A = this chain, B = another copy of it.
Amino acid sequence: MGSVESLEGCVVTAVHPEKVRLATAHAPAAEELARVSAVFKLLGDPTRTRLLYALLEAGELCVCDLAAATASTETTVSQALRLLRASGVVSGRREGRNVFYRLSDAHVRLLLDVTREHITHDPRQAAGGAEEEA
């Protein structure tokens, strides 16, 4: 059993030091990782997820239509859209009194599709149980 210097300098036991060094070497930088997890966190709220799937289907919707489509208040929708827009997940276009929102790029659409497929193809993680398959 080897030992590796962790980032804070304290020595901890390691079963596979090479793999640990490999992981730390290729790990995303702090700022990059923060942004990645920030995007996932935005997608991790049911209200926002509902908005995004509505935009995925309709292509473009204004705030009041999004509120109707997701059965939320317009204020809640507006607050959610503010966060999504601030991180570039959605973008808004003003047309008269309405602001129409759409998904920013293909990456977001892919994330929504892949995760939905992941869920439907892996019905294990329902409410609690999620052991190995077979």
We find that the number of chain A residues with CB closer than 8 angstroms to chain B is: 79
A60: B residues at CB distance < 8 A = 19
Q: Check: A6 CB closer than 8 A to any chain B CB.
A: yes
Q: Which one of B33, B62, B85, B105 contacts A50 once the chains associate, using CB atoms below 8 Å?
A: B33
Contact A41 B35 (CB under 8 A): no
A132: B residues at CB distance < 8 A = 91
A27: B residues at CB distance < 8 A = 50, 53-54, 57, 69-70
Q: Which one of B35, B44, B67, B69 contacts A119 once the chains associate, using CB atoms below 8 Å?
A: B35
Task: Give A contacts to B, CB under 8 Å.
Answer: 4, 6-8, 12-16, 19-20, 22-24, 26-28, 32-46, 48-50, 53-55, 57-62, 64-65, 67-71, 85-88, 91, 98, 104-105, 107-108, 110-112, 114-122, 124-126, 128, 130, 132
